[in-house]
Structure 1
Amino acid sequence: EIGAKTKPLADLVVTMPKGFEGGVGEFFRAAYGFLRDRVGDGRIVSAYVHLDEPGAQPHMHFAFVPIVESAVMTNDKAHPLRWTARDEEKNPDHRAGTVKRDSKGTVRYRRVPLVGDDGKPVMRRTATASKLFTKADMAALHPEMEKHLCAALGVERVGVLLDEDDKNRKWSSLDHDDYELVTAQRDKALAEVEKADRELSRVRAQVTECKAKIDGFAARFEKLKTELAQIAEALSVRGFLGSFKAKLIEFAANPICKAALAAGRDFMTARDGRRAEKVLVDGAREKVGEMGELSREMDEWSLLDEAGDMRGARRELDGHEAPARSRGQAR
């Protein structure tokens, strides 16, 4: 399986050590034999020896396709990764014991092999040099090559593996081009980290703003719901003027109930009751309209779980006209 980011061709460069007294041809034939055994005939693409590059030692480019068969990995949703105390030391935001999340807030899980219906790991073929040559393999490559070449060429030392006191030993894993590439990648990574930090700050500010907006939605919704419930309760006893007045006094903190109380005056006649009732019905319709507007605002944000409950309440109230009067009520 070759993906867009897969590097299907790998290349090892073997340089003939300075001071090697044997022939160029025999050295590279022995080196080729060693790499062929490590890589396998079926993966080799080419092996070219360069002899004419100015100032360069003779060297061979050994190209191969690092095809390997590996298990398909997947997230184990039962085992989210957690930040450690060491992580928290590096970044106080990574509280030890809390679930790890990436810069987008997505939970990170332990990676495990994907198991098929037959209970066996699902395997796939892909080109991945790091799996064909692990870090341990690369660390052992030079000692093993030195040993192989010494045996193949019949000498005690070839020089592929530098001596412990060689001043070039610590730089032997990198050439100049690789050093330039690594530093460029480092600078790019640092720039991406800075960019991610700026993005994180922006997202945090947005989260704070969204939370304030959500809290405002919730407060408005609760206020409207309470006011409508009080109006409905007052209307339920409208046929009994004394109880009607008492209920409006109880809910006088509700502006609609307070206005209805004033409209009913002394609540001595049926006309007093109808005036108060009209104020409540008109006020209820106004509150239903406010709830509809709030619901529309919430739909645009799509952030409140309560939005579904609000829409249900709105539909119920939209279909509810003024409470029906009993036949015996005076007009």
Structure 2
Amino acid sequence: MLRNILKDKIYDYLKETGLVKDLGLSDKYRVKFLAQGEYNINYTIEDGISKYVFRVNTGSQIDVESQIRYEYNGIKRLEVSGVTPKAYFVDDSKDYLEYGLLIMEFLEGKPLNYSTDLNRAANIFSKIHSIDLKDTDFNIFIEEKEVLRDRIKEGKKLLKDFLASPIVSCELKNFFYKFLQWAEDNKANERYFKENKWQVINNTEVNSHNFIIGQEKSYLIDWEKPVISDPCQDITQFLADTTTLWKTDYILSKDEKENFFRNYEREVKSNYKDIRERVNIYTPYLYLRALAWCAYAWLEYRNPEKDIKNQDTLNKIENYLQLDFMKRLLSDWF
């Protein structure tokens, strides 16, 4: 298994590069598997006193020259928020290991609980979305200027092979053809975001397990593909059923969402207080991204050369691609 092979190589890498000394680790440090996503494998390196996250990047969802350096640069910029991890080291040379490598702060805590931690999440988002953007930020982050059209382009790209595949049912293909057409027919709603432009740094992957809820402080982690865009990106995704059901079996009530909106608007630094309207317009396009990615990933899981395979993820993907689930999800729009 790849994660076991990499574990042994990480020991040698840390010694040969001198990082053991640079990080203040003793010679008795240990490397332990922590967690893995679809495109990253994470380990802890610790000696009983100091502890870090060692992140190995195995793939990318965005078109950048160096995925791991993009993530590193984003994390360094976000440190000012006080609610994101600190990054200490990046190596995208692939000289020793064939993957990009990142070392960052290990944060103590537990995943977000939707029933108890919504106020903490609103506080985290408000701090990140209150960062004053500088001209240099547009050199660090990808900028999305048209959130609806970008989702359509992304959806078409993710669905290209799925819609052409002979192993996909006609019913599923027809659903996505109709969904894409609906998105095209309603893309004029983009004018709302252009007439009321509000740009922030978005994480774009805000499921419950990308939050670290601590006793004193809480954080948002996993900055693999942040973008500069409208805040509706993160807020919509955080509240969406496809997100709350991903790692848990939770669906937020209207009252819970309203309470979240009030807390977020109270704390975020912005002239705009219309997050509900933004979320309402963007939601079906967020679902286009989420469901199209599931379709794309479903095909990827049939590739025997895929580096990382999670059975739980595959099970969730197949649940989301059930026609009844997708139709219920989008019943308010089409």
* TM-score tier after normalising by the smaller chain length: under 0.3
TM-score (norm 2): 0.22
